[in-house]
Structure formats: structure tokens, C-alpha cells
């Protein structure tokens, strides 16, 4: 699938063909894409546990579902990918290690001032970085653990977004979901064997859609010129109608917010099929 088509087709799918398993090869293909997500300093703090619902011990399965309040999509999706962020993945020491790797392969050019001594000096001795270099001393020297956790979390959210597109590219339905109610996050970690230090991010539910992903309409989006400025905040980036038309032709659907006429009928029959109240 072309990139724009994947972005345009993506919807949060909330009704899955519970009976149709997802081939393991497709799961791996998604994970392979996630692994290549961009990240500052190449930190890669994302960690994930892939769960195939029908291979779980029923007691554990029900406990994980209860952690998430028995949300409908969760019960139906045959595969649950639990994403966590590892704060250790965003510690200054990790940044030092990862950036040294980038210097070694020429990704961080010496021409800009990157070298192993200056990286270590900035991160561990608070040495001021010269012009042309990022102020990594201010960013990383003495970085509190909580900030590392925040950075790791933020970067893992990005990986989750990439995972969603990768799932769409595989012809699957996908939905980012909370892992558990806040009061039950520790229980979910315990059930999954995840280290206590890991920060919960999202779980990605995947499966074959039982609903028409288009039937609910393209979700409403904020106006383009409200969110994008040019040169100065508040000066709208002018939106060229031809560019929009070209993107649509290339597969990037544009928001209408209009569900198809049969959408509520579809929801009624899906609810009946799965045994939900109408």
C-alpha cells in the first residue's frame, strides 16, 4: 500500500472479526516497521508485549480485559500489542551510547562538531556545546529520572502511531487503546511480566475489521489553518486547494465527518452479533 493511502485509510477500528486470527508474519511485519521509527538520539525506548488473545490462559485473559474495563474492541480483537516505555532507554548514559553509534556510522557528522569526547563532556561534565551543536549539556546533564520517563513515553507514543499505520498497510484494522484504567496499570504489568519501571503507553488492538472502516466517516479534524502557522504563530499557513485535490487523488482522504447512511444500522447489527445492548 502507498504511504498516503495508508494514512488516508486509517481509522480506529472498534469492531473486529473475533473469529479470524492474524497471521504471525503480519504481526512481525508491523513490529519490524516500528523498530525503524525515528527517535532523537536513536534512543528507541519503546518496548512491547504481543499477546494473542486465544493463546492466553483464560484467567489471565479475563483479568487483562477487566483491567481495561471490558472495553468492547478489546474483547473482540484477536491480537493485543502492549506498548511500554523504558525510562532507562532515555537516560543520559543511553543517549551517550546511542549517539556514539550514530557518530561511528557517520549519521552525526564531525563537520557539525560531533565526536565522542564532546558528547561525553556535555552529558557527564556539563561542558557547553559550541555553536552548530545542540545544547545537549542543558538537555541531558543531571537529567532527572522522571524526565527520562517523560521522554521515553513521548517517543513511544510516536512509535505507536507508526505501528497503527503499519497495521493498516497489512490490511488490518487497528485501534490504539488504553492498556488499563490508571488504578489497574500495575496489575496489567504484573499479568504481562513487565518491569515495574516501565511506563504504560498504549495497547494496539489489531485484527480484521468487522465494521466498514469508512462507514463512520472520516473523523472530524481541526481546520488546517487553525493548527499550522507560517513564519509566525497566528499567521495561517495558506492551504492550496490544488494540493488538497492532488493528495485526495493519491489516496489521502479528506475529512468530511459524514457517516454513511447505513452506519447506525451497521452498529445495530454488529451489537446484536456480538451480544451488546442496543
Partner 1 sequence: MSATEDRQGQGPADVQAYRSIQLWMDVVNKMYHLSEAEWEGRLQIMQQFCEAEGKDPDEIVAEARGDRAEKIDYMRRLKRFVKTLTPNPMLAHDYENIIRSFFINNGARVVTKPYPDVYNRTQ
Q: Of the two residues 29 and 61, which places its CB atom closer to partner 1 in the complex? A: 61
The CB-of-176 to partner 1 minimum distance in angstroms stands at 19
The answer to whether 262 contacts partner 1 (rule: CB under 8 A) is: no
Choosing from 55, 193, 196, 233, the residue that interacts with partner 1 (CB under 8 A) is: 55
The CB-of-61 to partner 1 minimum distance in angstroms stands at 7
The answer to whether 257 contacts partner 1 (rule: CB under 8 A) is: no
The CB-of-204 to partner 1 minimum distance in angstroms stands at 17
Choosing from 19, 112, 145, 230, the residue that interacts with partner 1 (CB under 8 A) is: 19
The answer to whether 3 contacts partner 1 (rule: CB under 8 A) is: no
The answer to whether 261 contacts partner 1 (rule: CB under 8 A) is: no
Give the 3-state secondary structure of 82-108.
EEEECHHHHCHHHHHHHHHHHHHCCCC
The answer to whether 276 contacts partner 1 (rule: CB under 8 A) is: yes
Closest among 212, 201, 268, 208 to 76, alpha carbons compared: 208
Q: How many residues does the chain have?
A: 278
Q: Of the two residues 12 and 71, which places its CB atom closer to partner 1 in the complex? A: 71
Distances (CA, A) of 230 to 143, 156, 198, 205, 243: 33, 28, 38, 37, 17
Q: Which span sits near partner 1 by CB under 8 A: 25-33, 52-60, 105-113, 240-248?
A: 52-60
Mask for 173-202, x = binds partner 1 (CB under 8 A):
------------------------------
Choosing from 1, 7, 21, 251, the residue that interacts with partner 1 (CB under 8 A) is: 21
Tell me which residues in 58-77 interact with partner 1 (CB under 8 A): 58, 61, 65, 69-70, 72, 75-76
**Interface residues with partner 1 (CB under 8 A)?**
18-19, 21, 52-55, 58, 61, 65, 69-70, 72, 75-76, 264-265, 267-268, 274-278
Amino acid at each position: 500500500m502507498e504511504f498516503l493511502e495508508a494514512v488516508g485509510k486509517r481509522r480506529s477500528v472498534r469492531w473486529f472479526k473475533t473469529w479470524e486470527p492474524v497471521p504471525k508474519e503480519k504481526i512481525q511485519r508491523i513490529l519490524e516497521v516500528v523498530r525503524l521509527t525515528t527517535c532523537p538520539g536513536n534512543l528507541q525506548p519503546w518496548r512491547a508485549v504481543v499477546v494473542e488473545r486465544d493463546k492466553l490462559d483464560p484467567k489471565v485473559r479475563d483479568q487483562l480485559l477487566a483491567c481495561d474495563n471490558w472495553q468492547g474492541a478489546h474483547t473482540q480483537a484477536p491480537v493485543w500489542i502492549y506498548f511500554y516505555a523504558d525510562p532507562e532507554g532515555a537516560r543520559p548514559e543511553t543517549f551517550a551510547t546511542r549517539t556514539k553509534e550514530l557518530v561511528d556510522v557517520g549519521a552525526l557528522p564531525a563537520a557539525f562538531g560531533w565526536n565522542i569526547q564532546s558528547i561525553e563532556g556535555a552529558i557527564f561534565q556539563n561542558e557547553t556545546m559550541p555553536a552548530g551543536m545542540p545544547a545537549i549539556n542543558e538537555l541531558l546533564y543531571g537529567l532527572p529520572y522522571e524526565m527520562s520517563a517523560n521522554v521515553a513515553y513521548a517517543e513511544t507514543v510516536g512509535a505507536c502511531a507508526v505501528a497503527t499505520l503499519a497495521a493498516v498497510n497489512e490490511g488490518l484494522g487497528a485501534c490504539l487503546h488504553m492498556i488499563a484504567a490508571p488504578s489497574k496499570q500495575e496489575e496489567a504489568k504484573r499479568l504481562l511480566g513487565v518491569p515495574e519501571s516501565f511506563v504504560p503507553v498504549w495497547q494496539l488492538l489489531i485484527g480484521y475489521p468487522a465494521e466498514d472502516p469508512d462507514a463512520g466517516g472520516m473523523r472530524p479534524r481541526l481546520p488546517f489553518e487553525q493548527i499550522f502557522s507560517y513564519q509566525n504563530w497566528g499567521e495561517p499557513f495558506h492551504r492550496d486547494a490544488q494540493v488538497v485535490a492532488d493528495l485526495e487523488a493519491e489516496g489521502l482522504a479528506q475529512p468530511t465527518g459524514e457517516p454513511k447512511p447505513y452506519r447506525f444500522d451497521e452498529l445495530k447489527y454488529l451489537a446484536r452479533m456480538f451480544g451488546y445492548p442496543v
